[in-house]
Amino acid sequence: MEPEVQSKSNPDRIYAYAAIVIAFVQFIIFKYLYPFPNFLPDSYNYIRSALRNMNANLWPVGYSKLISFVGFFNHSDTLLIFVQYFMYIVAALYFFFTFLSIIQCSKWVKIGIFIFLFLNPAFIFISNYISSDIFFTSLSLIWISQLFRIIKTPSTTLLTAHIFILLFAFAVRYNALFYPVISIIVILKTSIPKGSKVFTIITIFLTLVTFAMYTSNENKRIFGTRQFSAFGGWQLASNALTAYEHVENRKQAPEKFAALQAEVNKYLDSVKATANEDAEPKTHYAFYLWEEKAPLQRYSRIVTPTGSKRMATVAPLYKDYGTYLISQHPGAFFNHYLLPNAKQYFLPWPEFLSIYNQGLTTVKSEAVQWFGYKNNNVSTRVAKRTNHLFDYYPILIVCITLLFLGGSILYFTKKWYLFTTTQFRSALLITLLFWITNLFFSVFASPIVLRYQLFNMALAFTFALPLVDFFLRAETPPADISTPPEDAEPDPEKTALQPL
């Protein structure tokens, strides 16, 4: 998905040249300061999947396939980070020029969006992680850009490419579960022939269902349990326990959950007396998912003491148990999980972005083996491993969100849409649909952290700036608008530039 080719007379082509130069300079400086990648707990799962050439694992294997693809040429960690970062640059350029094609905006708006996409330190930092975050962000930028192009100039080639992007996003992170729904809604609203709409929608459905069935069968072959996402069962149980710890009157669980419930009650009773009111909220870091002393990990070791199948074996039980707890205590789940997580949607925790390599100076054997390190030590050329820059990002996200939502409300209530292109209005509606759907999906699915919000933040900022521009020009009389002849056709592109 390359950026739209700009004509020689188009001054916007300078943005593409500037982005490429800036990207190379940023990459060279950043890799001098951080010669090794940043490793998360998830990183080693992705590397293990690449080492074993697995087609299914606890996490989606799409990112592991990227690691394997780059590793086919060279196992250099710098090459992998380079590929990740420049995939983002290409996706961001595609998104940037797609946006410029649906609205004529002020120069300061273009510059502001450009700076946010290409000089934002969050994107180069997240590109240095052995993680699916920047890969999924890149795919999401292409996905939303394709939707904007589909509403403007749909074509068979574009629709075919869109199906592949949906599949790739689906394979990289299951947060893309709702992407096909939005895509289908947009396709239904286009002017393409009805037969083409039906064929495209059926193809999307069959492609993703086939992928889900294949993944389930691979999980059965590898782990002995047929399930689409083993990690999903753990996540649901962890979310439910985050709320359940606040329940005073615990009911006796059905026989199916009796042993697990006993382990949960024993743990909750043991920590009740030592509870710390000032402790970090457990929704910040999925406490019940990863804490070794917590009941989910303890019970899984009882059922399957060792081996890679441990988490997958109990995942179906945990899924049912989480569903049971939520159904029995919906009020507690709403008050102690959904509401705190909704707050984190607007004020996401910086999490691992605030500290390099989790504060450790070593990496696990999987990283040493795949990247060919001489030893397991990693280092940086910066004095401190902590990074307080991202402590300010939650406030930035709140400001962007307020501008985006406030501007969107004014856009429709003040009828600013009369002065913009139809394509911009449709793109804004798509973005609002994504924002609302993503809010509900994210809040329910898993604890929200800053690295999950990068795409959402970039999308909201891109639309917030022109909406602010509309607001600033709202009271300016259109003195420079000449009255067109009565028989002249209106030019929506020119109209979009005029102040209200």
**Token pair belonging to 263:** 């382990």
Question: Measuring CA to CA, how many Å separate 45 from each of 56, 59, 83?
Answer: 11, 8, 20
Whether the predicted pLDDT of 61 surpasses 60:
yes
In the chain, the number of structural domains is 1
pLDDT digits (tens, 9 = 90+) for 139-156: 999 999 999 999 988 899
Residue 499 confidence (pLDDT) above 60? no
- Give dist(CA 60, CA 49) in Å, integer: 10
* Residue 52 domain-assigned (yes or no): no
Name the residue among 90, 77, 106 with its Cα closest to residue 23: 90
Give yes or no for residue 372 having a pLDDT over 50.
Answer: yes
Q: How far apart, in whole angstroms, are the C-alpha atoms of residue 249 and residue 268?
A: 12
Report phi then psi at 198, rounded to 5: -60, -45
Chain mean position to CA 108:
28
Q: Which H, E and C letters describe 383-401, residue by residue?
A: CCCECHHHHHHHHHHHHHH
Question: What is the Cα 363 distance to its own chain's centre?
Answer: 25
Binned at pLDDT 50, 70 and 90, residue 349 comes out as confident
pLDDT digits (tens, 9 = 90+) for 163-211: 999 999 999 998 899 999 999 999 999 888 899 999 999 999 999 999 9
Residue range 281-302, pLDDT digits in tens: 555 567 888 788 889 989 988 8
Query: Looking at per-residue confidence, does 115 or 290 come out higher?
Result: 115
CA neighbor of 357 nearest in space, from 39, 31, 33? 39
Position 314 in a domain: yes
Maximal CA-CA distance, the chain: 82
Selection from 152, 145, 136 nearest residue 62 by Cα: 136
Q: Indicate the burial class of 74 (C-beta count within 10 angstroms; 0-12, 13-18, 19 or more).
A: exposed
pLDDT tens digit sequence for 319-333:
999 999 999 999 999
The predicted structure's pLDDT at residue 276? 56
Q: Is 480 a residue whose pLDDT tops 70?
A: no
Asked whether residue 55 carries a pLDDT value surpassing 60, the answer given is yes
Dist CA 161 CA 140 (whole Å): 13
Backbone angles phi, psi at 377, to 5 degrees: -90, 140
3-state secondary structure at position 273: coil
For residue 365, report the phi and psi dihedrals to the nearest 5 degrees.
Answer: -60, -30
Residue 9 pLDDT grade (very low, low, confident, very high; cuts 50, 70, 90):
low
Residue percentage of the chain with pLDDT more than 70: 89
The Cα 121–Cα 448 span in angstroms is 20
Instruction: Look at residue 249 and tell me whether its pLDDT is greater than 90.
Output: no
Q: Which tokens hold the place of 166? A: 């949906």
Establish if 65 belongs to a structural domain. Answer: no
Q: Output the six-digit token pair for 436.
A: 């609302």
pLDDT tens digits along 88-98: 999 999 999 99
What is the pLDDT, as a whole number, of residue 420?
A: 84
For residue 293, what are the domain limits?
230-359
Question: Which pLDDT score, from 0 to 100, does residue 35 have?
Answer: 95
74: in domain: no
Predicted pLDDT of residue 7: 44
Tokens (6 digits) for 400: 């962007």
* 35 in any annotated domain: no
Mean pLDDT over the full length of the chain: 87
First to last CA, the chain: 35
Q: What is the pLDDT of residues 394-449, one digit of tens each?
A: 999 999 999 999 999 999 998 888 888 899 999 999 999 999 999 999 999 888 88
For residue 403, the model assigns a pLDDT of: 95
Closest-CA residue to 116 (of 327, 399, 480, 351): 399
188 occurs within a structural domain: no
Residue 286 lies in a domain: yes
Give the per-residue pLDDT at 281. 57
What does the pLDDT look like over 24-44, one tens digit per residue?
999 999 999 999 999 998 899
300 belongs to a structural domain: yes
State the sign of the Cα–Cα–Cα–Cα dihedral 118, 119, 122, 123: positive
